[in-house]
Every structure is written in structure tokens, then in C-alpha cells.
Amino acid sequence: MSAVTDYKELFKSFSSVRIGVIGDVMLDGWWSGSIDRLCREAPAPVVEVGQRKFSPGGAANTAMNLTALGAKVRLAGLTGRDDASAELLRQLGDSGVDATYVDQVAGLTTTTKIRISSGGQILLRLDEVAGETPAEALSRLAQCIPQLLQDQDAVVLCDYGAGALSGAVRSALFGRAAGTLGSSAGRGRASATCLGRTETGPGHPERPGSCRHARH
């Protein structure tokens, strides 16, 4: 059997896979335009924005990719009650991701990362991030963990240090995924300690020694 055939069979098998994705959800923005002058106030280019695109990022991006492969995906995380959250949830819903467990928290800012580019070159990234994650929101998310993980074939934890996998959520996850294929992605440390079986993904380039397959 050729490698191409092997991949086709692998992708076909995704239609029967159920995956829970838990972690830091965010909205990525890509703004592009032209530059023909410098700012008067400082030696900085003026970008006349001609196009704005948004797409799910972080754990939401992982959920979108797995859904695109054919998996049935449940996503859990925290957002604010703002325009960024509305756009994020709209795109997730349109893509078939089950975002029932994404909690919109009053007073919380949805993490948004906007790249400003011109001529295909990224010039600047603007990050809008939440402050401290409310303990009440973490407790509500933690209470959903048993139901979210029920009947799942795998669980993916996405830790970008935004706080969704801290506190009560981390405690709820610790040890619950025993017997389930687990994977962690991102740059935070919390997720790698929550699963008995862990793969740390390419989001940890500064810590290559942490990449491992732990077998029991």
C-alpha cells in the first residue's frame, strides 16, 4: 500500500473519532494594506488597511483543524462577551465545531492577536489579552470537564498561558484522561502535567527536551 493510500485511509478514519479540545481560545486577525509614507509623529510606516481577516486561534484553531479532518470535536474554553467572541463563535459554528462548552464571561476580554502586514511582510502584532481569569469562571468550566470528556476517543489540551487551564480546571483534568490518548499544545506548562499520556507539540520550540511520548 502506498503512502498516499495510507494517508487517505487515515483521513477516512477521522469521521468516527470524537475529540475533546480544552484550553485557551482566541481570535487571530490578519490586517493587510499598502505603505507609501511615514508617520509624521515618528519614523514609522503608515499602513492603509485594505483587508481585514479573522480566524479562530489557539485551542479554537486546533478544534477547527480537527473538524476539517472529519473528527467530531467538542471545544471548551473561556471568552469575553464582546465582538471578538461573537466572531469566534460564529466561525466555529459555521465549521461544525461543538462550542457548547465555551463560556462567555462578563468582564473578560477575549484574547485577540492582530498581525499588521504589507507586501506579505508582517510589521507588527497587536495583542489584546484578558487580565486574571476569574476563579468563578474556572470553576464553571471545571464542572463541565466530566461531561465534555464523556465518550471521547482523545483529548487535546492547548495551553498558551492565558489561564483557561489553571486553577480548578487543572485540578479537574489531572488524572481524568487516564486511558485516553492525550496531547498538549501551546507554550504553557500546565497542560503537560495534566495528562498521564502526553505529547508536547511544536509550540514549545524553546523547550525541545519536553517533547516526549510517555507510555504506561
Contact 108, 80 (CB under 8 A): yes
Closest CA to 79 of 43, 49, 107, 37: 107
Confidence at residue 130, expressed as pLDDT on a 0 to 100 scale = 83
Give the global pTM. 0.80
Cell numbers of 144, please? Answer: 463541565
What integer pLDDT is reported at residue 2 of this predicted model? 58
C-alpha cell at 169: 480546571
- Residue at 213: amino acid letter: H
Query: How far apart (Å, rounded) are the C-alpha atoms in residues 216 and 196?
Result: 8
> What pLDDT score was predicted for residue 135?
94
Question: How confident is the model at residue 44, as a pLDDT?
Answer: 92
**Residues of the chain under the 50 pLDDT cut:** 192-193, 196-200, 202, 204-216
Give the integer Cα–Cα distance in Å for 34 and 38. Answer: 12
Query: For residues 74 and 67, what is the distance between their CA atoms, to the nearest angstrom?
Result: 9
The Cα angle at residue 34 between residues 32 and 37, in degrees rounded to 5: 135
* Backbone torsions φ then ψ of 25, nearest 5 degrees: -95, 150
Instruction: Name the residue ranges covered by the structural domains of the chain.
Output: 17-27+57-109+133-210
**Cell output for 76:** 471548551
Phi, psi angles (nearest 5°) of residue 132: -70, 135
Strand-strand pairing, 25-38 and 45-58:
antiparallel
Quick one: fold of 17-27+57-109+133-210? UDP-N-acetylmuramoyl-L-alanine:D-glutamate ligase (3.40.1190)
